[in-house]
């Protein structure tokens, strides 16, 4: 991290990250990680919170990769556990790409359970072994995807008994995402996100969301897809008794 902050990373490491170094990139990586930690704190206080960024789940402890520099969720969980605000956590990663860095970081931590639903033929091409990985076929559509989620999430919450859920709500499973390879509609993503927030809330588990991946040359288009997660959370929060 010191080399990244100083701008002294070699070209091999920068190519692995996939982003050109700048002072702004350093500030963004640090702010995004801090935002995820804050989202975790606020979720513990209010039941739900979202960082409008984060989800950089490809980052490993010693290096960044796949547009990810710091693994914000893992950093936040380490801090929250160090402060004894939580003991156990469940990471629900629904970004279209497997969070290989997250899986590796927590592979020997039974208190942190990693659950990922991702496109099997998509990046990263060498997957890490998470606690539960569902490899999805290319072109899967709303109903089959949602059935898999609804079959597994309540069971994981019941069995793992987390103090906090971190939800990586990547919008890149969307059918129009150029890097996604899945076929979910905007309505399907809204149902997906609503289900995660509602299931956590009905189980009495605080949930902190991060936006994760999503790609488009049209900034307005990708902002609208990311906003699906915020709309789902807002609607569910307002409906709390």
- Cα gap 226→210, rounded to integer Å: 10
Nearest to 112 by CA among 123, 99, 125, 121: 99
- Provide the annotated active-site residues: 58
Write b or e for each residue in 55-91: b if 16 or more Cβ atoms lie within 10 A of its Cβ, otherwise e. Answer: bbbbbbeebbbbebbbbbbbbbbbebbeeeebeebbb
The answer to whether the CB of 177 falls within 8 A of the CB of 216 is: yes
Give the chain's largest Cα–Cα span. Answer: 53
Q: Positive or negative, the Cα torsion across 160, 198, 147, 230? A: negative
- The pair of three-digit structure tokens given for residue 230, joined into one six-digit string: 């915020």
**Which sign, positive or negative, has the C-alpha torsion 54, 58, 61, 62?**
negative
Q: Which two tokens stand for residue 82?
A: 């160090």
In the β-sheet with 164-168, what is the strand arrangement from edge to edge? 48-51, 207-210, 164-168, 89-93, 112-119, 132-136
The pairing of strands 48-51 and 89-93 is unpaired
């Amino acid at each position: 991290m010191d080399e990244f902050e100083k701008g002294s990373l070699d070209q091999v490491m920068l190519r692995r990250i996939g982003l050109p170094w700048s002072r702004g990139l350093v500030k963004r990586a640090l702010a995004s990680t801090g935002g995820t930690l804050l989202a975790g704190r606020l979720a513990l206080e209010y039941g739900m919170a979202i960082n409008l960024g984060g989800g950089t789940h490809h980052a490993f402890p010693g290096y960044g990769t796949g547009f990810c520099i710091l693994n914000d969720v893992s950093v936040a969980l380490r801090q929250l556990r160090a402060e004894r605000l939580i003991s156990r956590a469940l990471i629900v990663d629904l970004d279209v790409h497997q969070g290989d860095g997250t899986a590796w970081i927590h592979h020997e931590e039974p208190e942190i359970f990693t659950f990922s639903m991702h496109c099997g033929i998509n990046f990263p091409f060498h997957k890490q072994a998470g606690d539960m990985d569902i490899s999805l076929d290319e072109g899967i559509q709303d109903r089959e995807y949602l059935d898999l989620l609804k079959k597994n999430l309540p069971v994981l919450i019941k069995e793992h008994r987390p103090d906090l859920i971190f939800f990586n709500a990547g919008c890149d499973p969307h059918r129009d995402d150029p890097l996604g390879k899945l076929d979910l509609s905007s309505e399907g993503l809204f149902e997906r996100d609503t289900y995660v927030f509602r299931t956590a809330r009905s189980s009495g588990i605080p949930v902190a969301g991060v936006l994760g991946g999503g790609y488009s040359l049209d900034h307005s288009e990708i902002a609208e897809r990311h906003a699906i997660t915020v709309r789902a959370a807002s609607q569910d929060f307002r409906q709390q008794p």
